[in-house]
Structures are given as C-alpha cells and as structure tokens.
Structure 1
C-alpha cells in the first residue's frame, strides 16, 4: 500500500509540476507579446523613425532660415 501511495504521489506531483511549468511559460509568452513590451528590434526601429523625423524637421527649419537670410541679402542689394 505504501508503494502505491508513493507512486501516486510521484505521478500527481509530476502532473502538477508540468501544469505549473506550462502556465508559467504561457504567462511569460503573453507578457512578451504585449504591445506595452515590444521587442528590442521594434523599439530600435521606432527610435530610428523618430530620429529621422526629427532630423527632417531640423533640416526643413534650417532650409527656411537659409532662404530667409538669402532673401534679406537680396533685398538689401
């Protein structure tokens, strides 16, 4: 009888361990896939896009300033 209880305990604890492992893996997988936690490559791509956009805005501002300066110089001549 004692041997049967031992084997049943091993089987039950193995099943519970497998279930807990599966639940933990599912939780971590869902957490990684949330939009709030994007992968590193997605964050880097977003950063690159923001950097490009900011650079484009600065370039446009500088072009406008340069044009304004050239227009004032042309008016004074």
Structure 2
C-alpha cells in the first residue's frame, strides 16, 4: 500500500506542478501583452495629450503671425 500511495503522491504532485506552471506561464503572457498593448484609457489619454500639445503649438504660431501682422501695420502708419 505504501508503494501505491507513493505513486499516487507522485502523480498528484506532477499534476499540481503542471497546473501551477501553466498558470504562471499564462500570467506572464498576460502581463507581457498588457505592457505591449496599452489599455484604451491609456491610449485615449495619450491622444488627448498629443491633441492638446498640437493645439497649443498652433495657437502659439497663430499668435506669432498675428503679432507680426500688427507690427507691420504699425510700421506702415
């Protein structure tokens, strides 16, 4: 009986080890995928920041053009 119990223990241990290994591998894969593929919220936040930055640059350029036009008008008077 001891021999049979020992074999059962080995089989159960192997099965548990395989399940734990599979679970760890699955967890690591999911973690990697999350790092490579940012969440929708993160992508939207990044898009909003780029949009704000681009708008700020355009606003600055327009302000510079407006100032240049005002300076030229003042010079002609």
TM-score of Structure 1 vs Structure 2, range by shorter chain = 0.5 to 0.7
Number of aligned positions between the proteins: 73
Gaps of 5+ in 1: none
In 2, distance between residues paired with 1:40 and 1:31?
16
Where relative contact order (Cα < 8 A, 6+ residues apart) is larger, the structure is: 1
TM-score (ref. length: structure 1): 0.66
TM-score (norm 2): 0.66
1:56 aligns with 2:56: yes
Q: CA RMSD in A?
A: 2.9
Q: Which segments of 5 or more consecutive residues in structure 2 lack a partner in the other structure?
A: none
